[in-house]
Amino acid sequence: MKTIETIAREIHNAAVNAYEVEQISLNQSISLSEAYKIQEASISHRFQEGETLIGIKMGFTSEAKMKQMGVSDMIWGRLTSSMLILNHGKTHFSKYIHPRVEPEICFMISRDIEGVLDENQVKEYVNGVAGAIEIIDSRYKNFKFSLEDVVADNCSSIGFVVGDWHPVNTPIKDLTIELFIDGEVVEKGNSNDILGDPWKSLAAATRLAHQYNQPIKAGMYVMAGAATSAAFIQANQVVSANIESLGTVTFEVSE
C-alpha cells in the first residue's frame, strides 16, 4: 500500500512532466476523502515550486460529462498559476499527455466567500462572467479512472482559457454553446446543461469548498464545468468556443 504522500508525489511528477501512470484504484482502494487529501498534497508540490492557487473548478456538473466519463458525482479541483492560458494565446502540445477540451463558463470572485451560498446569494460575490475553455489531461492511461482516481488527479486539470468578462447581471441561462476545432463544430450544447443553471455550479462550489476547508477568495476564477462532452486535440490545431452573448474564446495548440 502506498501512502498518500507517495501517490501525491507520483501524480504531481506525472502531471508536470506529462507522462501517464496506472490508475490508483487498480492497485489499492482509496476513499473519496483520501482522494481529496492526495489532490491537496499533490498540488502543494506545485506551490513549493512557486505556483499559486488562482481558482477552483467544478467537474461533472453536466449529464454529458458524467456519461462520457462513466461517473455520477460532482467533483472539484484546484486551478494554479501555470494553468491559465491567454485568450488568443498559444499552448504547446508537448506539455500534455492526451489532452481534451471542453466549453465552460467562468466566474470571477469579487469578495471572499466564507460559508455555503445558494445560486442567488453567490451573485453578490462575483464581478464578472465569461465564456471559457478547459483543457483536461488525465494522468491515467487511456483517460480512464474511478471517481476517487480523478479527484486524486486534481480532476484532470492542466489548463484553462477565459474570454472577455461581462457584468454579473449578464444572463447566462439558456445560452447556446459550441466548441470548434479548426473551425469545425465538434460539440454543441446549452448552458442549462450545467446543472440547469450555471449559477448552481458556483453555489455547489461554495458547498464543496466549505466541506474541504478551501477558502474561495476575491480574485479567484471558478470554472463551472463543461456543458458538453470533451474532444481530443492534437498539435497544430486552433480550438475555439462560442458561448452565445458571452462571445468567443480561442487558442492555438503548437508542437
In the complex, the residues that contact Mg ion under the rule CB under 5 A are 134, 226
Strand 100-109 to strand 231-232: parallel, antiparallel, or no bridges (unpaired)? antiparallel
Residues in region 15-74 near ligand OOG by CB under 6 A? 57, 59-60, 65, 69
Of 3 and 162, the one with the shorter C-beta distance to Mg ion is 162
Surface-to-core class of residue 18, CB atoms within 10 Å of its CB (0-12 exposed, 13-18 middle, 19+ buried): middle
Of 1 and 239, the one with the shorter C-beta distance to ligand OOG is 239
| Shortest distance, position 1 Cβ to ligand OOG, whole Å | 25
| Shortest distance, position 114 Cβ to Mg ion, whole Å | 25
150 binds, among Mg ion, ligand OOG, none (CB under 5 to 8 A by kind): ligand OOG
Of 46 and 100, the one with the shorter C-beta distance to ligand OOG is 100
Q: Is 155 in the site for ligand OOG (CB under 6 A)?
A: yes
- Residue closest to 59 by CA, chosen among 45, 44, 70, 74: 74
Asked whether 182 and 236 are in contact (CB, 8 A), the reply is no
Of 95 and 121, the one with the shorter C-beta distance to ligand OOG is 95
Per-residue buried b or exposed e for 198-237, using 16+ beta carbons within 10 Å of the residue's own CB: bbbbbbbbbebbbeeebebeeebbbbbbbbbbbbebeeeb
Sign of CA dihedral 170, 79, 88, 181: negative
69 binds, among Mg ion, ligand OOG, none (CB under 5 to 8 A by kind): ligand OOG
Interface residues with ligand OOG (CB under 6 A)?
Answer: 57, 59-60, 65, 69, 102, 134, 136, 138, 150, 155-156, 225-226
